[in-house]
Amino acid sequence: MSSLPNILSIAGSDPSGGAGIQADLKTFAALGCYGMAAITALTAQNTQGVTGVHIPPAEFVAQQIDAIFADISVSAVKIGMLGSPDVVEAVAQALKRHGAKNIVLDPVLVATSGDSLGAPGVVEAMQAHLLPLARVVTPNIPEAMRFTGLAEPHSVQDLAQLAGHFLELGAQAVLVKGGHMQGDKACDVLFEADQAEVFSQPRVETRNTHGTGCTLSSAIAAQLAKGLDLPKAVETAKAYLTQALRDSVRLDVGHGHGPVHHLWTLTEMKSGLRS
- R_g of the chain, CA atoms, integer Å: 17
Q: Look up 148 and say whether it is catalytic.
A: no
Considering the candidates 26, 43, 214, 215, report the single residue annotated as catalytic: 214
- Catalytic (active site) residue 209: yes
User: Is 211 among the catalytic positions?
Assistant: yes
214 is catalytic: yes
Q: Give, in order, the Cα–Cα distances in Å from 214 to each of 79, 104, 127, 161, 194.
A: 9, 11, 19, 23, 26
Among the options 47, 211, 242, 258, which is catalytic? 211
- Catalytic pick among 47, 213, 226, 238: 213
Q: Which residue of the set 43, 212, 215, 242 is catalytic?
A: 212
Active-site residue 149, yes or no?
no
Length of the chain (residues):
275
Which among 248, 221, 253 is positioned nearest to 237, based on CA atoms?
221
From the candidates 17, 20, 26, 177, which is the catalytic residue? 177
Of the residues 47, 138, 148, 209, only one is catalytic, namely 209
The candidate with the shortest Cα–Cα distance to 27, out of 236, 232, 252, is 236
On whether the CB atoms of residues 194 and 177 are closer than 8 A, the answer is no
Active site residues: 177, 209, 211-214
